[in-house]
Chains A and B, each alone.
Chain A
Amino acid sequence: MESKERKIAVHLDNVVVDYEVFADKHLTLRRLAAQGFSGRESTMVHALKGVTNTIFEGEIIGVVGANGSGKSTLLSVIAGLLPPNLGSVRVRSQPALLGVNAALKPELSGHRNIEIGALAMGLKMDEISNQLEEIEKFTELGEALARPMRTYSSGMRARLAFSIATVRTPEILLIDEALAVGDKKFREKSLNRIREMQAEAGTIVMVTHNLGEIRKTCSRALWIDEGVLRKDGEVSEVLSAYEETEST
């Protein structure tokens, strides 16, 4: 551990998240009469079953796990989008979440989405116009920025979303598979941007199935398995343990 006074960026204390999922059945009058309003059939999904972890400033955490293991839920909880049913989450500053399907306003152009996203973050119009050129250049979307965002491919959406999320450099950035859909060049560029952020004591938590990316970028890895934190530690250690079970 390099410095003695490392500051905590994210603290998760026994976080439990249960989803209530309603059965996809036609709600008929007869069924309604039989069950009453409270009787909508639902099942509980235990997405996180008590996760405890502390993430420090300057760390880049890679999160691995099978599909449906609770990785995305973990990021939503850290971002404050999903209140935990039990336990607590504390952060040093409000994290920015970068999801794979992030489209702010699909019917509006890329330009407008940048503008609206920045305004919602609390930037002023003149700050935005000062940065606009730089942001637009970073997206490399060129003329596509004038088209509605719903016409974008997932890779193009990811470019735009990454650029918006980093307009005001967040101290904590959560990335949910968002880079995977980008092409190689953009991924390289984004990873460079992430390393720059780390150098400025930023904290990054990234969920990805690209283990090579984690090896190259991350300082620590977490393995989530069926809502439980199965392993936490050195990247190589966690990944080889994860790969072992995956290949069997």
Chain B
Amino acid sequence: MNNPSESFNVDDLIEPGYHGSLFTYSKKIWERREYLSQVPRHELRSQQMGTLLGNVWHLLNPILSITVYALIFGVILQVDRGVSNFVSFVAIGVFVFSFTQKAVTTGSQSIIKNRGLIRSISFPRALLPITSVTTELLAFIPGLMVMFATCLVTGANPKWSWLLIPVLILVQFILSIGAALIAARATSLYGDVKNILPFLFRLLFYGSGVLFSVDAYVTNDLLQKLFIANPMFDILEIYRWAILGGQVSYSEVLALAIWTILLFSIGVSWFRRGEAAYGI
């Protein structure tokens, strides 16, 4: 079959399914940025398909949930110890936390839910978890609007530090991508992760002071250090400081920065190590 004049030089051939070095890989994701801008919009729209109010729900959901929290914690339970503007405090906590929670949870499903796409078309698979996080970022926008409206209505004054919010959102976006990449590969390897994630996030929810002021309730030195070691606690503290004022410590900023860099770099490299086998 193979006669001698044919060259058997395979050096210029490539490994199928391999998307090159980190640089080429990132370039290929960048080339698919229109996927990132189109698909999240489809997904949000299809989430509300079959409802009467459609996309209005994306705004109505956060309004309703903040009303419930204000009613229960502001009026009935009266646990607003150590917080002057409790409704705004809770609004920031709930919306900021749920952005990362939803981003990582949907991101963890992105590989197994898109097997059809993976098996048919070759593209850098990290595009899928990044798309999930982008979808949740988009869904976070109405939440942010409700959050700021709540703050203004309850008497918070606009501050220069509000201008830092886009930076904070970017940091949270990067942190969430890192965690989503890890969760996506872990879920593709072990289906068990699906059962563990909700508990992990419930633990984080209470460990981040979403509904209560950690400064007012936690006096133990070691416990306080543990809270600071939790990136979700740090990011909530910094959001609240930027929006409502108050204090934020350097250790919180530092801890968040370390977590963001760590989760993102571990996420990218660990996810890419599984790249070849996501279609199985």
A92 to B14, CA, bound (A): 6
* Cβ B120 vs Cβ A108 within 8 A: no
- What are 11 A-B residue pairs whose CB atoms fall within 8 Å in the complex? A8-B8, A8-B9, A81-B118, A81-B279, A94-B16, A96-B121, A97-B120, A104-B120, A108-B46, A112-B42, A117-B120
**A79 and B17 contacting across the interface, CB-CB below 8 Å:** yes
B8 touches A91 (CB 8 A): no
The answer, yes or no, to whether A119 is at the interface (CB within 8 Å) is: yes
Report yes or no: B17 in contact with A94, Cβ–Cβ below 8 A.
yes
Give CA–CA (A93, B8) in the complex, Å: 16
Contact across chains for B6 and A56 when beta carbons are under 8 A apart: yes
Q: Are A80 and B46 in contact (CB under 8 A)?
A: no
* B2 interface residue per 8 A CB criterion: yes
Summarize B's interface: helix, strand, loop or mixed.
Answer: loop
From 1 to 41 in chain B, residues with beta carbon under 8 angstroms from any chain A beta carbon are 1-3, 5-10, 12-18, 28, 31-32, 34-35, 38-39
B280 CB within 8 Å of chain A? yes
Q: B122: which of A56, A79, A161, A232 is its contact (CB, 8 Å)?
A: A79
Q: B119 to chain A: which residues have CB within 8 Å?
A: 81, 97, 99, 102
Query: Do the beta carbons of A76 and B279 come within 8 Å of each other?
Result: yes
Contacts of A121 in B (CB 8 A): 121-123
Q: Is the CB–CB distance between A92 and B13 below 8 Å?
A: yes
Residues A8 and B277 in contact, CB atoms below 8 Å apart: no
Q: Does B133 contact A (CB under 8 A)?
A: no
| B123 lies within 8 A of A120 (CB) | yes
Cα–Cα distance between A165 and B121 once the two chains are bound (Å) = 8
Q: Residues of A at under 8 Å CB distance from B? A: 1, 4-8, 11, 54, 56, 76-83, 88-99, 102-108, 112, 115-117, 119-122, 124-125, 161, 164-165, 220, 232-233
Top 8 nearest A-B pairs (CB, nearest first) are A80-B17, A80-B16, A81-B279, A90-B13, A119-B35, A83-B276, A4-B5, A94-B122
Nearest CB of chain B from residue A161's CB, rounded to whole Å: 7
Q: Are B6 and A1 in contact (CB under 8 A)?
A: yes
CB distance from B221 to the nearest CB of A (A): 38
- B contact residues, range: 35 or more
Residues of A within 8 A of B8 (CB): 8, 54
| With A54-B2, A96-B122, A108-B42 as contacts: A89 and B279 at CB distance below 8 Å | no
Q: Which residues of A contact B120 (CB under 8 A)?
A: 96-99, 102, 104, 117, 161, 164-165
- Which single residue of chain A is at the shortest CB-CB distance from B35? A119
Cβ contact within 8 Å between B17 and A81: yes
Across the two chains, which residue of chain B brings its CB closest to A170?
Answer: B122
Given contacts A80-B16, A90-B10, A102-B120, contact A120 B35 (CB under 8 A): yes
Q: Does B163 contact A (CB under 8 A)?
A: no
**B18–A80 CB distance below 8 A:** yes
A169 CB to nearest chain B CB (Å): 14
Supplied contacts A8-B7, A11-B10, A115-B38, 14 more A-B pairs, CB within 8 Å: A4-B5, A6-B6, A54-B2, A82-B279, A83-B17, A83-B276, A91-B13, A91-B15, A104-B116, A104-B121, A108-B46, A124-B34, A165-B120, A233-B1
Question: Using Cβ atoms and an 8 Å threshold, which residues of chain A touch B15?
Answer: 80, 88-91
Distance (Å) between the CB of A73 and the closest chain B CB? 11
Give Cα A116 to B42, complex, Å: 10
Task: A106 to B120: give the CA distance in the assembly, Å.
Answer: 13
B127 at the interface (CB under 8 A from A): yes
| Contact in complex: A8, B13 (CB < 8 Å) | yes
Task: Determine how close the nearest CB of chain B comes to the CB of A130; give it in whole angstroms.
Answer: 14
Across the interface, which residues of B come within 8 angstroms of A97, CB to CB?
119-120
Question: Interface 1/0s, chain B 259-273, versus A by CB < 8 A?
Answer: 000000000000000
The interface residues of chain A lying within 8 Å CB-to-CB of B42 are 108, 112, 116
| Nearest-CB residue, chain B, relative to A88 | B15
